[in-house]
Structure 1
Amino acid sequence: MKLSHLRDVLAVSEHGSLRAAGRHLGIAQPAITRSIRDIEHELGVPLFERYAKGVRLTEMGRIFARRAEAIQAEMRRAEEEIKQLKGQTTGQVSIALSSASSIALWPKVHSYFRKTYPDALLKISESLFPAAEPEILEGKLELYVGPISHVGASPRLLVEKIFDNDRVVIARKGHPLAGATSFDDLADAHWIDTTLTMSHNTTRTRDIGFEQWFKEKGMPMPKVVVHARSVLVTMLTVANSDLLAILPRQWLDYEPTASNVAPLKMFAPLPAPSVYLARRRDLPLTPMAEHLADLICRVGGNYAERASPA
């Protein structure tokens, strides 16, 4: 098996046809066809299903492609690591961040990072841990920064706490309940329930902390009229309606939306999942990715000191 076989399988998978893959790679279609036939013969299984408009991966093909992606990513990292050790500042890092960690850490982390690696390509996605974990394990992501649920992480991951966090009840400025002083005042309030965790098969998982908080206060279950997976949508809805929501306090620091919302002062901060840095335990980071991870820990430590009560 050659690396070109991996390249060709991934190209055909991405482009959906042998002809399109050949155009993308600058290789004649017969050569691509021969390469795919050779690797299928070597493995003893078909990797693609042929149909009228092109091809698609078989179940075995999906398994092979997932491994091929990881091998290609590791080859790229090996090449970049050598170049970075020689003093070059090029390369790429893939990282996923939650919205709260982005607001709290990313502006300073990115600024410091660019001073050392001005030419680096950063591939950034907004994600929560259930979606990011398999991508880290498969080598598609190098770092995740955000909350990790009580279920915990795979033992194959190295996880480090960055800072503890809390949440606040927010409402639009000028909300009729802004001056509320008792839980009875909230009896008729309408709420947005934000989804903080998602299962791998995309079935929605309720935010246990949301309901638990009402139980601990001896309050009836809230009247939820919106289930939102997007924190930005939640903020926009709160800012333009009388709905209430519970969100990480970092959103009060996000200028584009914070000017339109405020915390309800009758509530003390509510506990929230801590923010962690996660990476593969058995996969060494490139110097560039290691530097980014160090900056996240350093900036996170400073953030924790500023956010802690005096």
Structure 2
Amino acid sequence: MAELPNIHHLRAFALAARLNSVHRAAAAAHLSQPAVTQALARLEKRYECRFFERRSTGVYPTELGEIMLARVERALELITDAARRLSESARRTSQTKGGGVDRLATTAQLRALVAIARSGGYSAAARSLGLAQPSVHRAARDLERLVGVPLFERISQGVALTPQGRMLALRAALAFREIEAATDDLEEAKGLVRGRLVIGTLPLIRTEILPEAVIALSQRYPQASIRIDDGSYASQLHALHMGEIDLLIGALRQPPPADDLEERELFTDTLSVIARAGHPLAGKDRVTREDLLRFPWIVPRPETPTRAHFEALIGSRFMTGLIETSSLVALRGMLLKSDRLTLLSRRQITYEERSGLLKALPVELGDRPRPIGITLRSNWRPTGLQTAFLEILREKAK
């Protein structure tokens, strides 16, 4: 997790920008005027930007100040929403506190909570933050005492977050991502595009489109940092919710699995029965369902769209001897070394088919299109780099 500015400095910045006055911002934040002045100066030094024009009538955001303000306000709204939810939870359970996180929590405390949520324990969280475990434990427990609502619970494997802890961690993680994105926005405003894009993909989604889009983006913005993370649907959804990835590319579920997510279709795809080029069925003009039942299969994990297509094609009674994998590399290797069959899109074996290694069998599967597209957070505000990638991706998908 990147080093982040003091959340109290960000609050002072937002108040000064809204009220156009350091004096009124200090009163609203319950700080001294010199403290607010110092907070603004530190932020300007940190980002190497002039965020305010100082006039006799007050302080007014510059163009860069407005860019920063947009991200800061989104971040603070997330923390304020968390405070409201904690207060409601406290009232329901007759607890005396539950609020204050938006005014009193520190960046260090919230960073500790997010790290624990992502890594699943104090030790792993400490390693990810480069801190000693006692420091992370103390910050987390101080935060819990501050809000007055249980955020952690002991389990046999160590520690887990309560529902309130998960809620706060999610909003804090997204708030931090907004602040990280502010750096990208500010640099883009100065003509420098060297921000970050993290793309989540599902294990069997390899197509020509994604590599082409990433290469096109990197050629346009050679200083940009691009990362592609592969994982199961459940793990990628968690990463998307926590702001660890910016978007997820793969088969859409329709409707989205959560109210705070949206799906954008890129294209519809169809599945084919795939085998090695020298497979006993590869030379047939027509392959029947009975032919398919004679050979063992490699299938994706349960509860995936392709697995549902397989079960509809073969039937639930033919479920023995299956090899399950979410690895396209392993799947390719096993197909080439055996007479096993699988269901894949031909887009996923473009190179192997061109090279004469794998082949789509002539099987009538019926009209079973599946939508492929992007899943993203409904309230996501992409940076210029991320917007450019979405545009390139849509163009490549045509």
| Fold match by TM threshold 0.5 | yes
Instruction: Give deviations 1:244-298, integer Å, cap 9, x for gaps.
Output: 2221112331349964221223557863412112222212111111111111111
TM superposition shift of 1:176 = 1.8
Letter in 2 for 1:43: V
Residue 49 to residue 178, structure 1, CA distance change in 2 (3 Å): closer
Q: Residue 298 of structure 1 aligns with which residue?
A: 395
Q: Identity over the aligned pairs, expressed in percent?
A: 22
After superposition, give the CA deviation of every residue in 1:45-88 in whole Å (9 maximum; x if it has no partner): 4545689x9x7444254443333222222221123222222222
- 2: distance between equivalents of 1:130 and 1:23? 25
1:300: how far off?
0.9
Distance change >3 Å, CA 272–CA 130, structure 1 → 2: farther
Query: Which SS does the other structure have where 1:7 is aligned?
Result: helix
SS for the counterpart of 2:368 is strand
Residue-by-residue CA offset, 1:201-224 (whole Å, 9 max, x unaligned) = xxxx88222232357xxxx96565
Aligned in 2, Cα 1:253/1:30: closer, same or farther, shift over 3 Å? closer
Counterpart pick for 2:250 among 140, 146, 159: 146
Give the alignment of 1:79-90 within 5 angstroms. Answer: 79-90=183-194
Note closer, same or farther for the CA distance 1:75–1:175 as it changes in structure 2 (3 Å cut). Answer: same
Match of 1:98 in 2: 202
Q: Which residue of 1 aligns with 2:377?
A: 280
Residue 163 (1) aligns with residue 267 (2) = yes
Picking from 306, 330, 349, the partner of 1:252 is 349
User: Are the aligned partners of 2:289 and 2:314 in contact in 1 as well (CA < 8 Å)?
Assistant: no
Residues 79, 195 of structure 1: CA spacing in aligned structure 2 closer, same or farther, 3 A cutoff? same
CA contact (8 A) 1:143 1:279 kept: yes
Q: Which moved more, 1:16-25 or 1:34-43?
A: 16-25
| CA separation of 1:47 and 1:213: change in aligned 2, threshold 3 A | closer
Matched, 1:240 2:337: yes
| TM-score, with length taken from structure 2 | 0.61
In structure 1, distance between residues paired with 2:322 and 2:309: 17
Aligned to 1:67: 171
- CA 1:256 to 1:125, structure 2 compared with 1: closer, same or farther past 3 Å? farther
1-structure distance, mates of 2:234, 2:377 = 15
Classify 1:20/1:172 alpha carbon distance in 2 versus 1 (closer, same or farther; 3 Å): closer
Greater shift after overlay, 102-111 or 124-133?
Answer: 124-133
The alignment's TM-score, normalised by the length of structure 1, stands at 0.76
User: What's the counterpart of residue 321 of structure 2?
Assistant: 225
Partner of 1:209: 309
**How has the CA–CA distance of structure 1 residues 185 and 178 changed in structure 2, closer, same or farther, with 3 Å as cutoff?**
farther
Query: Which residue does 2:291 correspond to in 1?
Result: 186
Tell me the C-alpha RMSD between the 2 structures: 3.7
Shift, 1:240, TM fit = 0.8
- 2:342 partner SS: strand
Provide the aligned length of Structure 1 versus Structure 2. Answer: 288
Instruction: Tell me: CA distance 1:7–1:128, structure 2 relative to 1, closer, same or farther (3 Å).
Output: closer
Match of 1:175 in 2: 279
Q: 1:10 to 1:149 in 2, by over 3 A?
A: closer
Q: Higher relative CO (CA 8 A, sep ≥ 6), structure 1 or 2? A: 1
Deviations 1:97-118 (A, max 9, x none): 2356432212211111112322
One of 228, 239, 256 as aligned partner of 1:135: 239
SS at match of 1:191: coil
Give me the whole-angstrom Cα distance separating, in 1, the residues matched to 2:385 and 2:297: 40
